[in-house]
Amino acid sequence: MEDTLRSGLATVAEFVPKLALFLVILIVGLLIAKAISKALDKLLQKVGFDRLVERGGVKKALSRSSMDASDIISKIVYYALVLFVLQFAFGVFGPNPVSDLLAGIIAFLPRIVVAIIIVIISAAIAAGVKTLVQGSLGGLSYGKTLGNIASIFILGIGIIAALNQVDIATTVTTPILIAVLAVIVGVIIVGVGGGLIGPMSRRWETYLNKAEAEAPRIKAEAESAPPAKDQLAAKAKEATSTTGNGGGAHVTGKNPLA
């Protein structure tokens, strides 16, 4: 009985200092993580990160959110630092399943960050291409449609690259691509087998004749359009003025960091 009591007291005496150190590391680490995330949020706003993201077309995705792009990035950094703090704090107790789980999550974080950067850059490039195409072919009836198609194509490639970065592109995009190709092939087989060879031939001839007739007009529109640098500068100026007019109300309604 006495040996059991001594063993229990020894276990408690060994555990209490570890628990105290765990709490100290956790509290101090959370305070530091919160301070870093707030400083990062202010830095991103100061360098105009939100305006850059809005030019990339991400503004529509965040229009119904109470947070802007800088808030989201600072939140991600905050929770990443919290994971590091938790891993360091649980390490006080030696090897344990919680530390192993946190280590796996932390190892995955860089992939998520790179995927987010890829999407933002792709959105910015897509918006720039859309502006150039629509500005160069604005006089044509289908100029806006071509710009939208080019923008969606580039953004789609960026999303696929981002999914590939987090190792889910194979399981998500491959079935979708197979389904789309199967639908296209099925439509072609059914259409051709159903006697659409003649109508298809006449339709293609019409398209080619129209393209040939439109070629001089497309060339004229492209030559009369402002230079690409001027178009992008005008788009950036428009985005900056829009952000400046509505920026105060947005900052006022910003939620504090958790």
Q: Distance between CA 232 and CA 160 in Å, rounded?
A: 26
Angle between helices 143-165 and 169-193 (to 10 degrees): 140
List, for residues 125-152, the tens digit of each pLDDT value: 888 788 777 776 666 666 777 778 888 8
What's the mean pLDDT when you consider all of the chain?
74
For the chain, what percent of residues have pLDDT higher than 90?
Answer: 4
Write down the pTM of the prediction. Answer: 0.56
List, for residues 51-96, the tens digit of each pLDDT value: 766 655 555 556 666 667 777 778 888 888 888 898 888 888 888 8
Contact between 90 and 102 (Cβ < 8 Å): yes
Contact between 35 and 82 (Cβ < 8 Å): no
Tell which residue, 187, 149, 166, has the closest CA to residue 110. Answer: 166
**Mean pLDDT for the stretch of residues 208-212:** 72
Angle between helices 197-224 and 169-193 (to 10 degrees): 120
